[in-house]
Structure 1
Amino acid sequence: MDTYTFLNISYKKLKCTLFLVIIFLFFPYNNALASTVNSDTLDFNIKYKEILILTSNTDNMLWEGKLLKYLSQQFSSDNSLKLYTEILSSVNNDEEYMDKEAELLFMKYAKNKFNLILCLDDESIEFVAKYYNNKALYNTPIAYCGVNELSKLNRYPYNFFTGVLESPNLRLLIDSILSTYPETTNINIVLDETISSKQIKKLFYNISPYYSSQVKFNYISSNNIEDISFALSSKGNDCPSILVGNFNNASNTSINPEDTVTILKKSYSGPLYTLNHAYIGKGALGGYLLSPENHGKLAYEVATRILNGDPLHSISPILDLDYMFIFDLKEVSYNGVDRKTLPKSSIYVNDNWINRKFSAPVVLLLLIVLFIVIILMMFFAIKKTENEKKANLAKARYNEAMVNDKIKTEFITNFSHEIRTLLNVMLSSLQLLDIYKDNGKIIFTDDKDATKLSYIRRNGFRLLKLINNLIDITKLESGFYHTEFEVQNIVDIIEDITLSVVEYAEAKNINIIFDTNDEEFLMPVDVEKLDRITLNLLSNAIKFTPSGGCVYVTLTCNNDTIDISVKDTGVGISKEEQALIFNRFIQASNTNSASTSGSGIGLSLVKSLTELLDGTITLNSELNMGSEFIITLPVKDFDKASEDALIQVNARLANQSDKIKVEFSDINL
C-alpha cells in the first residue's frame, strides 16, 4: 500500500471518528437516536450477543409458532442481542438430507460465534445433539424448550444442555374423557410422524396398563390427513379421539388446524380432544394444554441466565407442569356434553351471553325483550285460537276425504273382480285352444301363430297377477283380509314350493338349492298366505339373477320362530333404495329393464302379508352382490290342531300349476 492510499484511508477513519464524537458531545441523552443506527455500521464499536433459535415448525397458528413469536418479542426488546431464526426441515429423519442441511447451516453461520442456541422442539434438539461434536456447535451453550422425552437427558450430549421440559399428565386427560363418555371402550390417538408425536405415543403406552380392562387405545399415525381420515372412519364414529401433531394434504403441503378438523369431520363424527392449542376454537371439543406464553417465559428466564454468564451445569432443567383443561363451549353444546362432567378448573372459549355477568344496560335490554316476548305470546295465542278453528274445519274435510277414499277403494276392488272374471274366461278359452292344439283338432300352418298364442297367454297371466295383487292390497287396506291357520309340516310346504319352480329356474340356467335344519316341523300355518309370500320372493330372485347364478332357499326352525331365507346372486339393491323397496309401486332403479319390469306391488304385498301373519321381513343386499330376504314368523299355539288336518300335507300342491304360472308371468323364459 503506498503512502497516499494509507493517508487517504486514515483521513476517512478520522473524519468518521470525529463525526461520532460530535454526536455524543452535543446529543448525550439521545439514546433513541443511537439505537436506530444500523447495527452493521457500528459492529466495530458495539459487542453483540448472538442467539440462534432452531425450530421445525413456524406456522403462526401452531404451538411452536406462538412460542417463537413470544421469545422473538422478548429477545428483540434487548438492543444488545442479535437474533437469528432457522426453520429445520429434517423431520423426515433422512440421514443424507440431514447431513446436507447441517452442512449448509454451518456454512451459513461459519463467521458467527453464538452465545446461545435455543431449540424449540424435539426435532431441533435431536438435530443439535446429532451434530454437537461439530466445531460449529461444540462448546456453544445449548438450551431447549417444548421437549417431551425426559429419559434422554442423562445421556451425552443432552446432559450438557439445559432448558424447559413438557410432560403432560395424560391420565388426567383420559379420566376426563371417561367421565364425560363413561361407556367408551376405545379411544383413538391420532399422531403425525414427528419425534414429538413418537414421544407422546410412548407416554400413552406407559399409561395403557392402567386402563387395559376399561378402554383400548387405537394408534393412528401418518403425516397425510387423508390417510388419517380414512383410518379414523374405520374405527367407528362414536369413540373419542385425541389429536396430536400437524398434518399435510395430498400434495405434502402443511394444512392449518381448521382445515384438518374440517377434513376429519367429513367422515368422522366423534368428539375430538387435543394436546395442541391450535385446535381449540377450530373444531376440537377440548384438550389438556400448556400455555405457549408461560412456557416461553420459563425458556426466556433460562436463556437470560445463560447469557448473563451462569454455567449450564448450575441451571437445572425445568419441568413445566402448568397444564390446563380448555374446552370450546360451541363444540361442548354440539356434542351434547354436560358441563358438570368436565373438570371444575376448566377454562372455556366461545362462551355465550348466558354465562356472563349482566350490566345495567343489558338487564334493561332483557326487560325490553321480555316485554316484546309477552306481546308476541298474546298475539300467538290469538292466532292459535284461529288456527284451531281452521284445524277443525280441515279435520272435517279430512273425514270427508277418508269416506270418499273408502268408496274409491271399494270401487277399485269391485272393478278388479269384474275384470278378473272376464280375464279368467279368456284364459280358459286359451287353455281350451291349447288342448285342441295338443289333440290335433287345431293345426297352425305358421309357427308364428303358435308363438303369438303364447304371447297372449303370458300377458294374460301378467295382467291376472297385477289384478290379484291390486285386489289383495285393497283388501289389506280395508281390513278385509283374514288368516286361516291349519297345522301343517312347514318343511314340506317350503320344499314343495321351491321344487315347483325348479323348471322355471332351469329355463334361465339358474340353480335352485333348498336347505333346512329340520326334516319335520309341525305348526299352525296359513298355507295360502305363505304360498303368496314364498312364490313372490322366488319370482323376484329368479327375475333379477343372471344366467349361471343360484337361488338359495333356507328354512331354519327354532323353538319360537321359523326363518325362511330366499337369497340370490343377482344384481342386488343399493343402500339408498333398500329403505324404499317395500313401498308400494316402487322398483329399484338397477332393475329397470324390459326383462325385469313389474308393477312394484309384489314386495309391498309380501311385507303386508308377512305382518298379517305377525312376522317380519329383513333385507340384506349390496349392489352386484345379490340380495337376501328373510321372513321370520312366530310359532303359534296348537289351539285347533287335530290329527285329521295332517292328511292334507302331501296333497295341498296338487293344483299349484296355474298359481305358479301367474306368479312367474313377469319372467321372460
Structure 2
Amino acid sequence: MNKIKILISMILFIAIGFKIDILAKENYKLESKNILVINSYDSKNLWELSVLKGIQEELKKNDRYDINLNIEYLDSKKRNDKEYIDKFRDLLKSKYSNINVDLIVSVDDESYDAISPEIFNEYSIFNKKPLVFIGVNQEVYLTEDEKKYITGFIDSKNKLQIIDLITRLQSDIQNINILLDNTFYNEKIKSDIINSSYLLEKYVKINFIQSDYEDEILSKVKELNEKEAIIISGVFKDNENNYIRPKIFVNNLKEVSNVPLYSDRADYAKSGIIGGYMDIGQRNGIASAKMILKILDGEDVKNIPLTNKPGGSYLFDYNEIYNYDIDIKNIPKGSIVLNRKKHELLIPKKDKNAIVIIFSIVGFVFVTTMCIIYLEKKRSSKNKKLYVLAKEREKLKTDFIVNMSHEFRTPLNVIISICKLLEIKLQKDEFNKEYLLEKISKINQNSSRLTRLINNLIYISKLEAGFYECKFKEVNIVYVVEEIVEESIDFANQKEIELIFDTEEEEIITCIDLEKIERAILNLLSNAIKFTNKNGKIEVYMKRNNENVNIAIKDNGIGMEKDKIEQIFHRFYQIDSSLSRSNEGSGIGLCIVDEIIKAHDGHINVYSQEHRGSTFEIVLPIKHCDKEVQDKSIKNMAFKEIVKLEMSDIEK
C-alpha cells in the first residue's frame, strides 16, 4: 500500500512540475528586436537574395530574441545620384520614425554609402545605431568613433585570382574579357584589376566590355576569337529593362561565341560556365547573422573588428571541364564540381579516354565470351530439343501406324463379320429385307470410313511431297457453310445433339477452294458431333469482321486441356491415342484442316476448357480471285455423299 502511495505522489509531482514549466513558457516573452536590412539593388538580385536567406535562416535558430526583419531596396541601378540618395534617406526616416531600430545591416557598397553617414547625424533617427555591412568592395577606413558603431566584413578576395586561375587552366588564352555592368561593385572591380594587373602570375591582355544591356554585350562578344576567355561579373538587362536570368544570358553568349566562360558570381555557377572562385551569398548571410546576434547580446561594436568576409569556393561544371579540354590536374584542391554523377571520374581527359577504351575492350571481350557461351548453350539446348522432338515424332509415327492399323482393321472386321453373317443367312435361305438393309448400311458406313482414311493418307502424302493444288473460285461462303450444316443435322440428331446455324450477313462473296473448305468445315463439325455428349448443343456462327470472315463452330462437349491445344494440329497427334479410346479417328484430320486454312491465307483460333466444350474459329480473308479457276472435272460423288463420307466416324 505504501508503494502505491509513493508512486501516486511521484506522478502528481511530475505532473505539477510539467504544468508549471508550461505556464512559465507561456508567460515568458522573447525580447523584441527590430533590424533594418538595406539592399543596394532591387528585390530580384540573386546575390542579395542569397545573403538575405542566410541571415534569415541563422536568426531563426536563436531562442533569445523575437527578431523582426525590415527589408528595404535602394535599387541603385536605376538611379544613384545625390538627390535620389537624400530622398531615400528621408523616406527611411519617415517610415521608421515610430519604430525603434536596434541594428542596421547594409548589403553591398551603395547601401553602405547611403546609410553610414546617418549613424553620425545627430538629427537622424539612425544616429548611433549599430551598423553591420556585408559585400562592400571599397576600402573601408574607420575612425575610433566610427568603430564604436560600425563593423562588418571586408572583401579580402584578390580579384586577380580568377584571372590567374584561367591562365593556369588554359595556357593558350591570350586575352581575357571581363563583362561588367555599371554598378559601383563592377566599377570597383575594374579599378582594382587595372591597378593591380602587374601582380598577375602570367601576362595576359585584359579587356573590359561594359554595359547594362545584353544586346550591347553580345555584339562585342561576337568579335572574340578562340584564344580569348570571358569572365562574367555583371548582371544584365534586356531592352525592356528586365534582368536576364544567368542561365539564359550564358546560353545567349554561347550562341554568338564559343569562348570559355568563367565568373566570380555564385548566381552563374549552375548556368553552364566552366567555373570560377565564387562568393556564396548564403554563407556571407550566416556570418552576418552571427555578428548581429553578438551585438544584440550586448557586445560592444568596437570589440568586433572588421573581419574578412567568409571565403568563397572554387566551383566548376563537370561537363564544361571536358567540353573545353581543361587539365584536371590544374584545378585547385577542394574545388566543388557540379553536375558530376557518382560513377563519373574526375581525371584528365586523355586518361579518361584511355579508361573508356580499356573498359570498352574488356566489355567487348566479356560480351563476346558471354555470347559464345550463350550460343553454345543454345546450340546444346537446341540439339537436346531436336533429339527430344525427334523421339516424340518417332513415337507419334509409331503410334500413328498402330492407330491406323486399328482404324483399318475395325471397319474391315465389321465388313467381314457382316459378310459371313449374310452368307450364313443365304445358305439357310433366310431372307429378311429389313435385316439385309441394316447390314448393308453398316457395310456402307464402314466402307466410307475406309475411303475417308485412304483419302486422308493420300492428302497427307501429297503435303509431304509438296504436291498441293488449290482451285479457287468466288462463292457466297455463307451459303456454303449453311448447306454443310443442313446436311449434317441428321448425323447430329443420331446423338440427339442440337445443331444450330446463325449468321450476321446473308452474303459474303470471297475466293476459296470450295471442295477443300467444305472438307475443312465438315471435319470440324464431325469432331464436334463426335466429342459432344448426348443432348448436347453445337452452334455454327458466321460474321464479317473488317476484311475477314469468321466461322465459329462451338460445342459444349468434353473439351480439352489448355496444354493440348497447341498440339492438336500436329500431324498424327491424338489427345487420346490409346486403342481403348471411346471415339474413332486417325489423328490427321485437324492437320489437314489447318493446312487447308493456311492455303487460304487464314488461321484457326481454338478456345477450349475441359468438360465445358470447345470453339474452333476459322478466320479467312475476304478477297477476289485474280483469275477465277473453274473446276471443270466431274465429281465422283454428290455433296450428300461427301458429307456422309466425312461423318462416317459417327456411330449410329
TM-score, normalised on structure 1?
A: 0.46
Instruction: Determine which structure has more spread, i.e. the larger CA radius of gyration.
Output: 2
